[in-house]
A and B are shown apart, each in its own frame.
Chain A
Amino acid sequence: MSEYSGNEAVIMKNVCKDFKVLNRHEGLKGSIKDLFSRDYKTVSAVRDVTLTVNRGEIIGYLGPNGAGKSTTIKMMTGVLEPTSGELLVNGKVPYKNRTENCENIGVVFGQRSQLWWSLPLIESFKLLRDLYMVPEKDYEGMIELYRSLVDIEPILHKPVREMSLGQRTLSDILAAFLHNPAIVFLDEPTIGLDVSMKAKIRELILGLNKEKNTTVILTTHDMGDVDALCRRIVIIDKGTKIYDNDIEHLKNYFGSYRTLKLKRSDDTWEEYLIDEKTTDVMDVIMEKQKSMKIKDVKIDEISTEEVIKKIYEGSAK
């Protein structure tokens, strides 16, 4: 058994998750053949992942589509059982103690609202308070905290079905924190939102993390979220963990890379990623100048977005 010292929110040790799927054949003939086929194959969604998340951390759990992120989250929330390995959330095996585990976690899953569709938000809050048996004093305190962090008045008495996407996401996040869980899982919380709403939601998550020392596990494709919220990131690809460290470290890793931005005559920017170890920036500018008129030049450090892209590409090889 893994050592649980009380300070770890999540402990994963060699966790694997396999699914059995039918080998499908192509075409109409294939479809008819599949009707009677017993040709199953095993697909490993998560392979041998070892990971420890400490209390109060905000980690970015990243990976390309189909990398195994949601499967991991589903295991941590107790919905799926790992095929092998050890998994402890708040010191307990989530799948065996689903109800108990749920008391200590909050989940926001993409654009799927978990609130009662036709109820005003405040009524949903009250029902959640009862479901989680939150003491009245703590509940009031939480609502007060919400008031201090965001302007909740306009949405409090609005049914969820009538809300805009941004308001709905905001409501879902507030609902996920309402019972003051030890861990909150956020899956793509800012997807489809406009810039100001994104900023608002990031601020809210940071604020709640600071006030309540809540552990936040964030999966996203938006590197803006990662930059704003996470100090540590974990990258998973094809079910295998390929990176687990600070963002800073990651950037150092690609420290010799620069983003060269050239402004064309029509005021649009062109970007090039350059490895200074192999190529000289000035050479590139000179080369480009032969074919186009350059109005302005900018050299930036590599952005997180590009680092992640590099890593995905690297692991794909």
Chain B
Amino acid sequence: MNPKRLLAITRAGIMESLHFRLGIFVTLFANLIYLVLVYYLWKAIYDSSGTAVVNGMTFTDTMIYLILATALFNFLEMFVVWDMSRSIQSGKIVLDLLKPMRFRKYTFWSYTGNHIVQFVLTFIPTFVVVMIVTKGAIPVGLNLVWFLIATVLALMINYNLEMIVSPICFYTESTWGINIVKETIVLLLSGATIPLAFFPEKARMVVQYLPFRAVYDIPLSILLEKNGSDTWQGLVSLFALQLAWLAVLTLAGNLFWNCAVKKVTVNGG
């Protein structure tokens, strides 16, 4: 694949997201309100508990974790499933599949443009606000670099999860159903709704090895230097988990996708 072409697609993706200018501001605003909700809820929870530390997490830890998880979630949000189902229902999928570039690659790189915009416009401001409000509670050092790497891996894993789910659209029109199942599972098991540290011991053991954790929990753990990511061994094992899942999901995604495409070609669209 010509890297120049990939860059062109990414650039077009960036420009397309910027096109929706009011949408961007509204999104920022909506996020802010959401963060306020999260803040009040957890403040009340910690106030009622009587102790400052629960399961090794202070109120500040929990807040940072959840706020950044939300920011990450927004930045990773993809509408692949929705787009795909629209495209299938309108018959446009046939055209998409005929594009000179492999459809999945095209989708990935054009979303990358969107991700870059979202990262700059939602994640970085959120990060700065959190830094200011917590007066520098997030450690700043090499962990930022590791966090960026982990985030890129998370992005790829997330994309592969979408790609595994979206071929289901070829078989059903219930996009809402597919999407909500995916979103619910990912949000819950990745620790974006409630930090994994709060899960009961046994559940945590299981969730720790699932791919969903690699999307939100691992980058955030690395950023906050939790879960042993402050040691080299811990860091390596977290990255290893991400890479392992990335490999497995890419394979599975390819398999699913090829089966689904075969079905389209058989039906003739």
Contact = CB atoms under 8 A, between A and B. Distances in A.
A136 B15 CA distance: 55
A32 B120 CA distance: 12
A28 B15 contact: yes
Nearest to A22: B21
Contact of A34 (B11, B14, B18): B18
5 smallest beta-carbon distances between A and B, as pairs: A31-B18, A31-B15, A35-B21, A35-B18, A28-B15
B24 interface: yes
15 contacts: A28-B11, A28-B14, A28-B15, A31-B14, A31-B15, A31-B18, A31-B19, A32-B18, A34-B18, A34-B19, A34-B21, A35-B18, A35-B21, A35-B24, A36-B21
Contacts of B11: 28
Contacts of B19: 31, 34
B95 to A, nearest CB: 14
A1 to B, nearest CB: 39
Interface in B1-49: 11, 14-15, 18-19, 21, 24
Interface in A98-113: none
A35 B11 CA distance: 16
Contacts, number: 15
Contacts of A36: 21
Contacts of B14: 28, 31
Interface residues of B, number: 7
Nearest to A161: B89
A35 B21 CA distance: 5
Given A28-B14, A31-B14, A34-B21, 12 more contacts: A28-B11, A28-B15, A31-B15, A31-B18, A31-B19, A32-B18, A34-B18, A34-B19, A35-B18, A35-B21, A35-B24, A36-B21
Nearest to B22: A35
A35 B20 CA distance: 8
Contacts of B18: 31-32, 34-35
B178 to A, nearest CB: 19
A109 to B, nearest CB: 15
B65 to A, nearest CB: 30
A5 B19 CA distance: 49
A312 B36 CA distance: 59
Residue of A34, A35, A36 most packed against chain B (CB within 10 A): A35
A32 to B, nearest CB: 6
Contacts of B15: 28, 31
A308 to B, nearest CB: 30
B231 to A, nearest CB: 41
Nearest to B24: A35
A31 B12 CA distance: 10
Nearest to A35: B21
Interface in B209-230: none
Interface in A22-78: 28, 31-32, 34-36
A34 B19 CA distance: 8
A202 to B, nearest CB: 26
Contacts of A32: 18
Nearest to A37: B21
A32 B19 CA distance: 9
A298 to B, nearest CB: 39
A11 B10 CA distance: 50
A32 B117 CA distance: 10
Nearest to B12: A28
A32 B21 CA distance: 9
A14 B21 CA distance: 35
Contacts of A28: 11, 14-15
A34 B21 CA distance: 8
A271 B82 CA distance: 49
Interface centre among A31, A34, A36 (most CB of B within 10 A): A31
A34 B14 CA distance: 13
Contacts of B21: 34-36
A28 B12 CA distance: 8
Interface in B79-133: none
A39 to B, nearest CB: 12
A162 to B, nearest CB: 13
A179 to B, nearest CB: 28
Nearest to B21: A35
A313 B15 CA distance: 35
Nearest to A36: B21
